[in-house]
Amino acid sequence: MKKTLAGLVLLLLAPGARGRAQQAPTVTALTAEWPEIVRVDGIEILRVQKDIYMLVGGGANVTAQVGSEGVMLVDAGAPGQTAKILAALRHVTKKPLRYLVNTSADLDKIGGNADIVKAAGGVSGPGAPDRPANVGIATFAHENAVNRMMKPPALTGDALPASTFFTPRKDFYANGEAVQLFHEPKAHTDGDVIVFFRGSDVVSTGDIFRTDSYPVIDAARGGTIQGELNALNAILDITVPERNQMGGTRVVPGHGRICNEADVLEYRDMLTIIRDRVRDMTKKNMTLAQVKAAHPALEYDGLYGTQKDWTGEMFLEAVYREFAR
């Protein structure tokens, strides 16, 4: 692993990768223990596998595929973070921006859409105005997510993905690699997309999977705990460990660290246990207050229930209301 990270730093700090129009970005080692991991203008850059990178610190994890055609991004980060994300990306490659996929309509996934498209020279591809060859960026999202984006506070113009789909899967080639988009209905929301880079063996999950909290079950936008479990099982179907349930397919979560199949499996099992406990309690006609007092997620709250904007109690309430209908 250290060799891989060291190789990345050599790439990031190469003389040809330092140019910036106005002011050179601040490049620092992340920690004394891991000097090879680099932070550029507050964005941490980690090589996931082959030509796939994860950019951390722009609101949500941004996945970048780099190749001969240019750059494909999975999610655009939060509003106001685009300049930092692009500065970090330009330390990896000078190639143009060519593709952008939004995994959901969450603000930390779509907030940078307009600025990303502007930096790429406009929208290209299906549903976009005619442009010269090799100019612009093709933008994708599931139809349900785009419908959410058009509601206040609405995205407009080029910020809205130009290419939408409503089928279970969409695929295309980018940088000589098959890329598959899988719609996972009624998971975190009803418009979630998993992105699978087949040649690189990397899955980008959006907020279906995250390592810093319980999944946000957004019932108002079609999210359910059962749909969440179905989506995690779909991820497990396409991930393959190298040995001893470790290595192999890499998984980039919406928030948190790079993972593999075993991490997703543990997360799925944890949610299954909590779902079964809460469902059994609702069958006994326990009230929400009684369920909370019983602490059916007690052993997991220390890991996943500490986020201020999505606490363990909020997660339990979402699961309870699904079964108490």
pLDDT value of position 129: 60
Q: Is residue 195 part of a domain?
A: no
What is the spatial distance between Cα 18 and Cα 234, in angstroms, rounded to a whole number? 40
Sign of the four-CA dihedral 130, 192, 45, 237: negative
* Ramachandran angles phi, psi of 157, nearest 5°: 60, -135
pLDDT, tens digit, for every residue of 45-79? 999 999 999 999 999 999 999 999 999 999 999 99
Q: Is residue 210 part of a domain?
A: no
Q: Decide if pLDDT at 303 tops 90.
A: yes
Q: Is residue 312 part of a domain?
A: no
pLDDT value of position 132: 60
Q: Are 165 and 144 in contact (CB under 8 A)?
A: no
Higher pLDDT residue, 49 or 8? 49
What is the spatial distance between Cα 46 and Cα 54, in angstroms, rounded to a whole number? 5
pLDDT value of position 37: 67
What is the spatial distance between Cα 17 and Cα 259, in angstroms, rounded to a whole number? 28
Our count of domains for the chain comes to: 1
pLDDT value of position 127: 59
| Percent of all residues in the chain with a pLDDT value above 90, rounded to a whole number | 82
What secondary structure, in 3-state letters, does the chain show?
CHHHHHHHHHHHCCHHHCCCCCCCCCEEECCCCCCCCEEECCEEEEEEECCEEEEECCCCCEEEEECCCCEEEECCCCCCCHHHHHHHHCCCCCCCEEEEECCCCCHHHHCCHHHHHHHHCCECCCCCCCCCCCCCEEEEEEHHHHHHHCCCCCCCHHHCCCEEECCCEEEEEECCEEEEEEEECCCCCCCEEEEEECCCCEEECHHHCCCCCCCCCCHHHCCCHHHHHHHHHHHHHHCCCCECCECCCEEECCCCCCECHHHHHHHHHHHHHHHHHHHHHHHCCCCHHHHHHHCCCHHHHHHHCEECCEEHHHHHHHHHHHHCC
Q: Which of 16-20, 162-166, 318-322 has the lowest mean pLDDT?
A: 16-20
What is the spatial distance between Cα 219 and Cα 182, in angstroms, rounded to a whole number? 20
Residue from 286, 290, 269, 289 nearest 324 by CA: 286
What is the spatial distance between Cα 71 and Cα 52, in angstroms, rounded to a whole number? 10
Sign of the four-CA dihedral 297, 299, 300, 302: positive
Euclidean distance between the first and the last CA atom of the chain, given in angstroms as a whole number: 49
| Percent of all residues in the chain with a pLDDT value above 70, rounded to a whole number | 86
Q: Is residue 34 part of a domain?
A: yes
pLDDT value of position 187: 97
Instruction: Give the confidence band of 6 by pLDDT, cuts at 50, 70, 90.
Output: very low
Q: Is residue 49 part of a domain?
A: yes
Q: Is residue 48 part of a domain?
A: yes
Q: Is residue 175 part of a domain?
A: no
What is the spatial distance between Cα 1 and Cα 9, in angstroms, rounded to a whole number? 13
pLDDT value of position 289: 97
Average pLDDT, the chain: 89
Q: Are 108 and 151 in contact (CB under 8 A)?
A: no
What is the spatial distance between Cα 108 and Cα 184, in angstroms, rounded to a whole number? 19
Type of residue found at 89: L
Q: Decide if pLDDT at 119 tops 70.
A: yes
pLDDT, tens digit, for every residue of 201-240? 999 999 999 999 999 999 999 999 999 999 999 999 999 9
Residue environment code for 268-294, b if the CB has 16+ CB neighbours within 10 A, otherwise e = bebbeebbebbbebbeeebebeebbee
Instruction: Look at the block and give the residue holding tokens 């990896």.
Output: 92
pLDDT value of position 325: 74
pLDDT value of position 22: 43
Structural domain for 118, as ranges: 1-166
